[in-house]
Amino acid sequence: MQVKTLLRLSIATAIVTIAVKGFAWWITGSVGLLSDAMESFVNLASALFAVAMVTIAQRPADADHPFGHTKAEYFSSGFEGLLIVGAATAIIWAAVQRFITPQPIESLGWGLLLTVASSLLNWLLARRMMIGSREHRSIALEADARHLYTDVWTSAGVVLGLIVVHLTGWLVVDPLIAIAVALNILREGGRLAWRSIEGLMDTAVETEVRTQIDRTLARFAHSTIRFDHVVTRRAGQRRFVDMHMHMPGGWSLGRAAALRAEVEQALMSDVRGLRASIQLLPTDVEAHFNDADDPA
């Protein structure tokens, strides 16, 4: 299933979840269920923004963006993190008001049933989206999936709190659970925002991707051929690697270029979405740039 298809499914699910959880809050009056419903609004806004960013990320390279637009997905993750922080703040405010003036909870059975049903729907979607995020290496999908998982655990906490209220009559448990929910999603929002910042700062490729790159290069390594200054970075779904390939100075340009093309093709075949750039150098020549001792 394609990235945008999964995100559109997330939008539809968020709309259904808002309706179900909103109704559960309306019939019970629980501020815990209100916090759960408010988080679903964040899911909807995040999914809508993610669709827009993924659409931009899939645009081909152009004169102004020669490396493509794949980093647009990181804006989706950052935006979702900020929305989560806003939702958590609103939840805490509502919970404090209810803590000051506790109110009884009504129609608890229906409220719990509706919440559990919507949580199951979110869990199924989150599981599928997480699988899709690994298939497509999409941080937008991963961010949405992780938020949905957080939503599921949030709902579980709210349900548990409401059961405690029902069994004990301690109305104060409801706003306390809402505050705990807010703190939990606040943590998730910070994590998503940090992932976005890391992506925009050109972090190295994942460990397993670097291992595959090294394994591919090892197939071509020889007493007269070596690789150094291997530098990697990732941008959304794309991966990049730059390196120096040293070979005998007596080789013809055609022979050296042919081997370079073979190495580049092997790298891009072994690592999906990789763009390889190799600079040819004679064995006895070293090129140094961007070293730690170089002036900024």
Reported as a single tens digit per residue, the pLDDT across 33-47 is: 776 677 677 777 777
Does residue 293 surpass a pLDDT of 60? no
Planar angle of CA 231, 202, 235, nearest 5 degrees:
100
Does pTM top 0.95 for this prediction?
no
**pLDDT tens, residue by residue, 104-147:** 766 677 777 888 888 888 889 888 888 888 777 777 777 778 77
Q: Compute the average pLDDT of residues 53-61.
A: 79
Question: How far is the C-alpha of 113 from the C-alpha of 108, rounded, in Å?
Answer: 9
DSSP 48-88: HHHHHHHHHHTSPP-SS-TT-STTHHHHHHHHHHHHHHHHH
pLDDT of 245 reads 93
**CA–CA separation, 90 vs 54, rounded Å?**
28
Give pLDDT, residue 296.
Answer: 40
Average pLDDT over residues 98-105: 72
Q: What is the pLDDT of residue 246?
A: 93
**What pLDDT, on a 0 to 100 scale, did the predictor assign at position 280?**
92
Given a cut of 60, whether residue 295 has pLDDT beyond it is no
Where does the pLDDT of residue 289 fall: very low under 50, low under 70, confident under 90, or very high at 90 and above? low
Structure confidence by residue, pLDDT tens digits, 181-190: 778 777 777 7
* Average of per-residue pLDDT values in the chain: 80
What share of the chain has pLDDT > 70, as a percent? 89
Per-residue pLDDT tens digits for 265-288: 999 999 888 889 999 999 877 766
Predicted pLDDT of residue 232: 92
pLDDT of 22 over the 90 cut: no
Crossing angle for the helix pair 253-270 and 207-220, nearest 10 degrees?
150
Above 70 in pLDDT, residue 172? yes
Domain 207-282 belongs in CATH node 3.30.70.1350: yes
Residues in CB range of 248: below 8 A, 6 or more apart: 224, 282, 283
The C-alpha atoms of residue 37 and residue 158 are separated, in whole angstroms, by 11
Tell me the mean pLDDT in the region 220-231.
90
Yes or no: say if 244 and 281 are a contact pair by the CB < 8 Å rule: yes
Pick the more confident residue, 50 or 123.
123
Comparing 3-200 with 207-282, is the CATH topology the same? no
Mean local confidence (pLDDT), 63-84? 75
Residue with tokens 């909103």: 22
Is residue 292 predicted with pLDDT exceeding 60? Answer: no
User: Is the model more confident about 122 or about 150?
Assistant: 122
Question: What is the helix (H) or strand (E) element at residue 10, kind and residue range?
Answer: helix 3-28
Task: Please give the average per-residue pLDDT across 54-70, as a whole number.
Answer: 79
- Assigned token pair, 83: 């929305």
Question: Domain residues of the chain, as ranges?
Answer: 3-200, 207-282
Q: CATH number of the domain at 3-200, out of 3.40.50.10610, 1.20.1250.20, 1.20.1510.10, 3.30.300.30?
A: 1.20.1510.10
